[in-house]
């Protein structure tokens, strides 16, 4: 039998086909796959001793306890501290990936000086020298101009040091950041609150101390007054979708119902010296008028008023959105006055005066420059401005600050990244990043009890990084280091023998009077702990004025913040989320706005379908939002939950990375009262 060409081909073909029926090719694929597992494209996780360390989060004023899982000294994950007296084991998304911040590639590692539109490296000595020269010049000429520190995170021990330094400086002015949460004069006894009437406060999305608030959510009723269907509005027991800028009108409308129907706390009202004037003001806003202004039906306003006082203790809160700029002072007065009617001031379940950890000698209030808001400072009056933690300043409208600067000025930004307000500075000085700075965290803004935690450094800062206090010492030619003042403060707390220490590691508590020495207290706090004062702060009920000196301004605010404008018929409402609205964030946060639809992203606007149709735009189009102060270009997202006639614009990170929040915030423009949370706008397709 001969072997022909055809047979040979059959043999080869059959052999090839048969080969694939054997396990060999599959084993080969498997083997190749295993080999490629460790190819250079896949990074190797670190190896080493795994241990747990503790600190306190300083990314926002909530001061949550942090448990860090470290490989050798490097944190690889962060989590909340269970049973923490304020944060209750919770960290927000930004806090969970906070350990990435010191390692971000755009980290500022050396001082920079502005040269035209760019920055050039410079020594920190040169920056301190420039500031010292300006101060000497001001002293010599008896200049009326100011030297100011703008503190993005007030309430820290470093803040006390700034204020003392400014007391000695020529016209030293200590400025609070716009919408600084930490400076709230009263805390909230939210665990015992019956009803929360929130005017735009993101109660369930990063307001106050999230762990504490969410824990208490099981017991309080929540009525959310907000134009936008925010996360809080979605989860509230009632949502009042209000026309933008008419919150004060609604507050007075509710007050009108309470006063007319005598549902208010008469005893509490007697403490208000101008209650009659307030009642007369509220009388101008019967539910029908309030309905006309706010777009909320009169019956709903009446029902909300009944709801508000029906499940006491009831509090009314007003807070600015993390991306939307501060609420106007007059609107805040109108809203806060509801607390007089509900009798929640100085009452359990209501507002209680905030306590404060003992201060070391030399830091009494009289020795410090007073706290001031930016709006209180005259325009063109600041010669030297030092911005502390400029990273947190990404959601400030720069024009609100710029107008306060003198013709000749120096702006120094202490910052980890060349972002936010630092981009406008003349000098950028590298500061220690989160987890690198050994500092303190003041009491969270909504906690009435005095608290104090140390945010112990888990990582070493870059050699060039200096904290704000050290920089001011360099300018002044000497002064105590922050670490020394912190130790003095801990010693003062120990000397007070008040309160107790909560230990993060085992959730145990030790009374301060049982701590042997100030050094032991320091050690306990540094290893992970917080001091909390359980002695209630005595709350007097002094006579006070509800409207202060501003009844006319409150009336004006209640008449509507956004007057009709034929050229700009739409209302632009910027909003953001705490921890990510401005400044650098971990790249892992892309999970929330790029790799999923959870957050719209800072390059979008959201419109109601009717609004979109009217202006000829559709989902995915790029549109130009124009206001009297500027414009910005954004991708359109059509959403039926948006109020018709409103443009919702997120202030935050974006997938494209090329849409900075600044353009939007500047387009909003700064109103006379220093706010920029709303603007009239028009829209067209790009």
Partner 1 sequence: MAANKSARYGMVIDLDRCTGCGACMVACAIENNVPPANAKATERTGITWMRVHRLGNGRPFPDSRAVFFPILCQQCGHHTPCVAVCPQNAVEVDAATGIVDQMPQRCLGCRYCMAACPYHARYFNWWDPAWPAGMEKTLNPDVAPRMRGVVEKCNLCHGRLHRAESKAAAEGRRDIAANDYVPACVEACPAKAITFGDLADDQTEVAQLARSEGAFRLLEKLGTESKVYYRSERPWVHQAVKSGIGKEPQRG
Residues 75-94 contacting partner 1, CB under 8 A: 75-77, 79-80, 90-93
* Residue 583: C-alpha distances to residues 389, 394, 420, 421, 654 (Å): 10, 5, 6, 9, 12
Under a CB-based contact definition with an 8 Å cutoff, are residues 351 and 344 in contact?
Answer: yes
Q: Is 464 in the site for partner 1 (CB under 8 A)?
A: no
Provide, rounded to whole angstroms, the least separation between the CB of residue 597 and partner 1: 6
Q: How far apart are CA 399 and CA 103, in angstroms?
A: 31
Q: Which two tokens stand for residue 491?
A: 């010693």
Provide, rounded to whole angstroms, the least separation between the CB of residue 453 and partner 1: 19
Provide, rounded to whole angstroms, the least separation between the CB of residue 591 and partner 1: 5
Q: Which is nearer to partner 1, 205 or 603 (CB)?
A: 205
Under a CB-based contact definition with an 8 Å cutoff, are residues 645 and 569 in contact?
Answer: yes
Sign of CA dihedral 105, 106, 111, 112: positive
Provide, rounded to whole angstroms, the least separation between the CB of residue 110 and partner 1: 17
Stretch that binds partner 1, among 96-104, 183-191, 351-359, 529-537 (CB under 8 A): 96-104
Contacts with 433 (C-beta within 8 Å, 6 or more apart), sequence order? 101, 102, 107, 416, 461, 465
Give, as ranges, the residues between 135 and 154 that touch partner 1 (CB under 8 A). Answer: none
Provide, rounded to whole angstroms, the least separation between the CB of residue 99 and partner 1: 6
Q: Which is nearer to partner 1, 63 or 525 (CB)?
A: 63
Q: How far apart are CA 517 and CA 69, in angstroms?
A: 29
Provide, rounded to whole angstroms, the least separation between the CB of residue 257 and partner 1: 21
Of residues 39, 121, 366, 567, which one binds partner 1 by CB under 8 A?
Answer: 39
Stretch that binds partner 1, among 95-103, 161-169, 315-323, 386-394 (CB under 8 A): 95-103
Of residues 2, 4, 18, 105, which one binds partner 1 by CB under 8 A?
Answer: 105
**Which residues in 253-292 are b (16+ Cβ under 10 Å) and which e?**
bbbbbbbbeeebbeebbebbebbeebbebbeebbbebbbb
Under a CB-based contact definition with an 8 Å cutoff, are residues 651 and 588 in contact?
Answer: no
262 alpha carbon, distance to own chain's centre: 38
Provide, rounded to whole angstroms, the least separation between the CB of residue 154 and partner 1: 25
Query: What is the x/- site pattern for partner 1, positions 575-604, by CB under 8 A?
Result: -----------xxxxxxx-xxxxxx-----
Provide, rounded to whole angstroms, the least separation between the CB of residue 252 and partner 1: 22
> 233: how many CB neighbours lie within 10 A of its CB?
25
Q: Which is nearer to partner 1, 539 or 591 (CB)?
A: 591
Give, as ranges, the residues between 183 and 212 that touch partner 1 (CB under 8 A). Answer: 204-206, 210-211
Q: Which is nearer to partner 1, 21 or 34 (CB)?
A: 34
Q: Is 640 in the site for partner 1 (CB under 8 A)?
A: yes
Q: Is 603 left (phi over 0), alpha (psi -120 to 50) or beta?
A: alpha
Contacts with 141 (C-beta within 8 Å, 6 or more apart), sequence order? none
Of residues 630, 639, 671, 673, which one binds partner 1 by CB under 8 A?
Answer: 639
Give, as ranges, the residues between 652 and 681 that touch partner 1 (CB under 8 A). Answer: 655
Give, as ranges, the residues between 616 and 635 that touch partner 1 (CB under 8 A). Answer: 618-620
Q: Is 42 in the site for partner 1 (CB under 8 A)?
A: yes
Q: Which is nearer to partner 1, 207 or 396 (CB)?
A: 207
Give, as ranges, the residues between 229 and 288 that touch partner 1 (CB under 8 A). Answer: 229, 231, 234-235, 239, 241
Provide, rounded to whole angstroms, the least separation between the CB of residue 312 and partner 1: 24
Cis peptide before 313 (omega within 30 of 0): yes
Q: Is 96 in the site for partner 1 (CB under 8 A)?
A: yes
Mapping DSSP onto H, E and C, the string for 216-255 reads HCCCCEEEEECCCCCHHHHHCCEEECCCCCCHHHHHHHHH
Q: Is 104 in the site for partner 1 (CB under 8 A)?
A: yes
Give, as ranges, the residues between 18 and 37 that touch partner 1 (CB under 8 A). Answer: 26, 29-30, 33-34, 36-37
Q: Which is nearer to partner 1, 235 or 562 (CB)?
A: 235
Of residues 622, 641, 684, 686, which one binds partner 1 by CB under 8 A?
Answer: 641
Contacts from 473-481 at CB under 8 Å and sequence distance 24+?
A: 474/124, 474/125, 474/128, 475/128, 475/131, 475/132, 475/135, 476/132, 476/165, 476/168, 477/132, 479/161, 479/165, 480/161
End-to-end CA distance of the chain: 81
Provide, rounded to whole angstroms, the least separation between the CB of residue 569 and partner 1: 17
């Amino acid at each position: 039998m001969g072997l022909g060409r055809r047979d040979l081909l059959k043999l080869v073909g059959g052999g090839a086909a048969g080969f694939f029926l054997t396990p060999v090719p599959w084993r080969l694929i498997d083997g190749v796959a295993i080999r490629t597992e460790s190819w250079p494209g896949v990074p190797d996780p670190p190896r080493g001793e795994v241990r747990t360390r503790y600190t306190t989060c300083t990314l926002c004023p909530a001061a949550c306890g942090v448990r860090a899982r470290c490989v050798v000294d490097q944190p690889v994950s962060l989590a909340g501290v269970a049973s923490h007296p304020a944060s209750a084991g919770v960290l927000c998304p930004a806090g969970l990936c906070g350990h990435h911040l010191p390692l971000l590639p755009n980290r500022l590692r050396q001082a920079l000086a502005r040269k035209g539109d760019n920055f050039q490296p410079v020594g920190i000595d040169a920056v301190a020298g420039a500031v010292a020269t300006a101060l000497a010049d001001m002293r010599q000429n008896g200049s009326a101009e100011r030297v100011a520190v703008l503190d993005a995170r007030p309430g820290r021990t470093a803040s006390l040091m700034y204020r003392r330094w400014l007391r000695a400086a020529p016209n030293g002015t200590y400025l609070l950041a716009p919408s600084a949460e930490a400076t709230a004069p009263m805390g909230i006894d939210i665990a015992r609150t019956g009803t929360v009437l929130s005017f735009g406060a993101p109660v369930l999305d990063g307001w106050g101390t999230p762990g504490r608030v969410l824990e208490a959510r099981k017991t309080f009723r929540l009525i959310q007054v907000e134009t936008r269907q925010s996360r809080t509005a979605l989860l509230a027991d009632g949502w009042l979708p209000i026309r933008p800028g008419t919150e004060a009108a609604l507050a007075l409308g509710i007050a009108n119902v309470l006063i007319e129907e005598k549902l208010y706390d008469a005893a509490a009202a007697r403490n208000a010296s101008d209650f009659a004037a307030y009642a007369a003001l509220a009388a101008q806003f019967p539910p029908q008028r309030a309905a006309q202004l706010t777009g909320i039906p009169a019956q709903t306003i009446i029902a909300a008023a009944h709801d508000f006082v029906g499940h006491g203790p009831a509090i009314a809160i007003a807070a600015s959105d993390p991306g939307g700029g501060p609420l106007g002072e007059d609107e805040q007065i109108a809203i806060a006055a509801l607390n007089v009617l509900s009798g929640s001031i100085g009452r359990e379940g209501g507002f209680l005066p905030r306590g404060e950890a003992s201060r070391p000698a030399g830091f009494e209030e009289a020795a410090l420059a007073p706290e001031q808001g930016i709006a209180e400072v005259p325009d063109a009056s600041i010669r030297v401005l030092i911005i502390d933690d400029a990273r947190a300043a990404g959601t400030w409208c720069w024009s609100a600050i710029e107008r306060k600067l003198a013709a000749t000025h120096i702006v120094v930004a202490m910052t980890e990244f060349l972002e936010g307000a630092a981009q406008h500075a003349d000098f950028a000085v590298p500061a220690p990043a989160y987890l690198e700075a050994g500092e303190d965290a003041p009491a969270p803004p909504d906690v009435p009890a005095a608290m104090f935690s140390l945010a112990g450094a888990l990582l070493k800062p870059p050699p060039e990084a200096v904290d704000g206090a050290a920089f001011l010492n360099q300018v002044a030619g000497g002064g105590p280091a922050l670490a020394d003042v912190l130790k003095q403060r801990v010693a003062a707390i120990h000397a007070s023998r008040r309160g107790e220490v909560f230990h993060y590691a085992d959730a145990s508590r030790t009374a301060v009077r049982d701590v042997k020495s100030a050094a032991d207290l320091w050690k306990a706090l540094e290893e992970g702990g917080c001091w909390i004062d359980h002695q209630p702060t005595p709350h007097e009920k002094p006579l006070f004025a509800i409207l202060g000196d501003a009844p006319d301004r409150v009336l004006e605010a209640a008449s509507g913040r956004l007057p009709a404008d034929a050229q700009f018929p739409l209302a632009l409402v910027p909003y953001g989320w705490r921890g990510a609205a401005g400044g650098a964030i971990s790249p892992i946060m892309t999970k929330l706005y790029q790799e999923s639809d959870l957050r719209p992203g800072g390059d979008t606007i959201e419109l109601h379908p009717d609004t979109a149709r009217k202006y000829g735009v559709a989902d995915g189009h790029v549109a130009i939002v124009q206001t009297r102060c500027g414009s910005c270009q954004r991708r359109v997202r059509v959403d039926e939950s948006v109020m018709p006639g409103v443009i919702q614009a997120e202030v935050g990170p974006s997938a494209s990375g090329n849409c900075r929040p600044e353009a939007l915030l500047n387009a909003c423009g700064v109103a006379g009262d220093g706010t920029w949370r709303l603007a009239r706008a028009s829209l067209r397709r790009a």
